[in-house]
């Protein structure tokens, strides 16, 4: 048995993987592979419709918002957000909570007037900045809800009248969202939603007031909305696997049930980290992520030995990102509580043998 703690592309439910492999061989009894069927076929149009409908129902998204699946990764949104939302003469506020937020800021500056109103760079992004003013004149406030590399997460979003734009790539579908707080949410699929190759965008239709003539067709959200995510050929297979993953989520009780499971997993792991004398977690306690748990050995000479122990127990993908070192445990929706139990047992045994 393997326990996959990769940060992304990441673990998917086993039944989703089996159904995906089966559709590659024969899609819905058509006698054709899902890979070679027209995206305009009624069978695939129904997949896209169901994927969009599942996103709306799981996250309680009302009709003020459009839901679209785009080709490619979330990083393209770092450009598309200011291109579509930020008007000349207006400013947008960004909070810098790490690598991905910084990349959003860099692209924001290419396309508009951007102000970084808060940052946790001073402590290597080990906390979420909270004490800052938000000028009501900002057109939007850009946040990164969960910081995969560091293991921080907004537990509450700032209270402000400025509409929030949020990169939720690594924690969407892990907990409820009050959609009315947001003008736009985006997320690359490859954590809680599906495999790499598609990006989900949820956008308030009334926020899209720019003239389309100034934006290339594929960079204009309106074209994708009007085309029901079929303005161009969509990434058929990644969308299909995402749809299956959303079905799995519904079958397993939806967002509230998965949040309870995610709480249980992260609580178990943080409790062991706080108890175990060999390890520590350097993230501000109230900002600890429920999706990515970063930790270190006090004695870094034991790093490789610990990784080997983990691997022997079937736990893989635990090396920390090079910018923070140590270890990182990604415990997305599809990770079982058993996986985390196995890992904490390894940590306990490691304390017994090296403590």
Q: Does 190 bind a copy of itself (CB under 8 A)?
A: yes
Annotation says 167 is catalytic = yes
Q: Does 323 bind a copy of itself (CB under 8 A)?
A: no
Backbone φ and ψ for 351, nearest 5 degrees, come out as -65, -40
Q: Does 210 bind a copy of itself (CB under 8 A)?
A: no
For 154, counting Cβ atoms within 10 Å of its Cβ (0-12 exposed, 13-18 middle, 19+ buried), the class is buried
Q: Which of 134, 160, 158 is nearest to 144 (CA)?
A: 158
Annotation says 349 is catalytic = no
**Residue among 96, 171, 191, 248 flagged as catalytic:** 191
Least gap, CB of 263 to a copy of itself (angstroms)? 23
Q: Which residue in 68, 201, 241, 318 binds a copy of itself (CB under 8 A)? A: 241
**Residue among 107, 167, 171, 287 flagged as catalytic:** 167
Annotation says 122 is catalytic = no
Give just the sign of the alpha carbon dihedral 332, 174, 239, 144.
negative
Least gap, CB of 235 to a copy of itself (angstroms)? 3
Least gap, CB of 21 to a copy of itself (angstroms)? 4
Q: In the range 76-95, which residues lie near a copy of itself by CB under 8 A?
A: 76, 78-79, 83
Q: Does 232 bind a copy of itself (CB under 8 A)?
A: yes
- Which CB, 35 or 337, lies closer to a copy of itself? 35
The per-residue b/e assignment along 209-223, b for 16 or more CB within 10 angstroms, e otherwise, is: ebeeeebeeeebbbb
Contact call for residues 145 and 291 (beta carbons, < 8 A)? no
* 33-52 footprint of a copy of itself as x/- string (CB under 8 A): x-xxxxx-------------
Question: Distance (Å, rounded) from C-alpha 171 to C-alpha 173?
Answer: 6
Q: Does 213 bind a copy of itself (CB under 8 A)?
A: yes
Q: Which of 347, 343, 173 is nearest to 256 (CA)?
A: 173
Q: How many CB atoms lie within 10 A of CB 90?
A: 13
How many residues in the shown chain lie near a copy of itself by CB under 8 A?
64
Q: Does 325 bind a copy of itself (CB under 8 A)?
A: no
The DSSP string of 209-233 is -S-GGGS-GGG-HHHHHHTTT-SS-
Q: Which of 338, 291, 336 is nearest to 12 (CA)?
A: 336
State the virtual CA torsion across 50, 51, 54, 58 in degrees, nearest 10: 180
Q: Which residue in 238, 320, 326, 339 binds a copy of itself (CB under 8 A)? A: 238
Question: Distance (Å, rounded) from C-alpha 121 to C-alpha 105?
Answer: 13
Question: Distance (Å, rounded) from C-alpha 342 to C-alpha 315?
Answer: 8
* 99-128 footprint of a copy of itself as x/- string (CB under 8 A): ----x--xx--xx-----------------
Least gap, CB of 133 to a copy of itself (angstroms)? 28
Block residue for tokens 């992004």: 125
Taking CB under 8 A as the binding criterion, the range among 54-62, 128-136, 145-153, 233-241 that sits at the site for a copy of itself is 233-241
Taking CB under 8 A as the binding criterion, the range among 50-58, 123-131, 173-181, 230-238 that sits at the site for a copy of itself is 230-238
For 304, counting Cβ atoms within 10 Å of its Cβ (0-12 exposed, 13-18 middle, 19+ buried), the class is exposed
- Chain contacts with a copy of itself (rule: CB under 8 A): 2, 4, 6-12, 17-18, 20-22, 24-25, 31-33, 35-39, 70-76, 78-79, 83, 103, 106-107, 110-111, 188, 190, 194-198, 213-219, 231-238, 241, 316-317
Catalytic center residues: 100, 167, 191
């Amino acid at each position: 048995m393997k326990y996959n703690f990769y940060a992304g592309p990441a673990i998917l439910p086993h039944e989703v993987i089996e159904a995906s492999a089966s559709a590659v061989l024969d899609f819905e009894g058509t006698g054709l592979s899902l890979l070679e069927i027209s995206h305009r076929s009624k069978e695939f149009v129904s997949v896209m419709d169901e994927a969009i409908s599942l996103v709306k129902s799981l996250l309680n998204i009302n009709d003020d918002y459009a839901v679209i699946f785009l080709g490619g990764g979330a990083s393209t949104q770092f450009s598309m957000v200011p291109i579509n939302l930020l008007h000349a003469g207006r400013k947008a506020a960004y909070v810098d909570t790490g690598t991905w937020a910084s990349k959003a800021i860099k692209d924001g500056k290419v396309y508009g007037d951007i102000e970084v109103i808060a940052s946790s760079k001073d402590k290597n992004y080990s906390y979420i900045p909270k004490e800052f003013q938000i000028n009501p004149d900002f057109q939007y406030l850009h946040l990164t809800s969960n910081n995969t590399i560091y293991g921080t997460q907004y537990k509450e979003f700032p209270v402000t009248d400025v509409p929030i734009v949020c990169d939720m790539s690594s924690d969407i579908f892990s907990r409820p969202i009050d959609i009315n707080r947001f003008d736009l949410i985006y997320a690359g699929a490859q954590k809680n939603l599906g495999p790499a190759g598609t990006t989900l965008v949820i956008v308030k239709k009334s926020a899209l007031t720019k003239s389309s003539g100034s934006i290339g067709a594929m960079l204009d959200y309106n074209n994708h909305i009007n085309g029901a995510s079929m303005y161009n050929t969509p990434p058929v297979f990644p969308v299909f696997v995402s749809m299956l993953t959303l079905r799995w989520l519904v079958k397993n009780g939806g967002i509230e049930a998965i949040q309870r499971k995610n709480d249980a997993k992260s609580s178990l792991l943080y409790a062991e980290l706080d108890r175990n004398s060999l390890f520590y977690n350097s993230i501000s306690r109230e900002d600890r992520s429920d999706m990515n748990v970063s930790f270190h050995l006090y004695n870094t000479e034991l790093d490789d030995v610990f990784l080997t122990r983990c691997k022997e127990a079937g736990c893989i993908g635990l090396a920390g990102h090079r910018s923070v070192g140590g270890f990182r445990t990604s415990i997305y929706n599809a990770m079982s509580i058993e996986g985390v139990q196995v890992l904490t047992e390894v940590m306990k045994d490691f304390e017994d043998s090296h403590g």
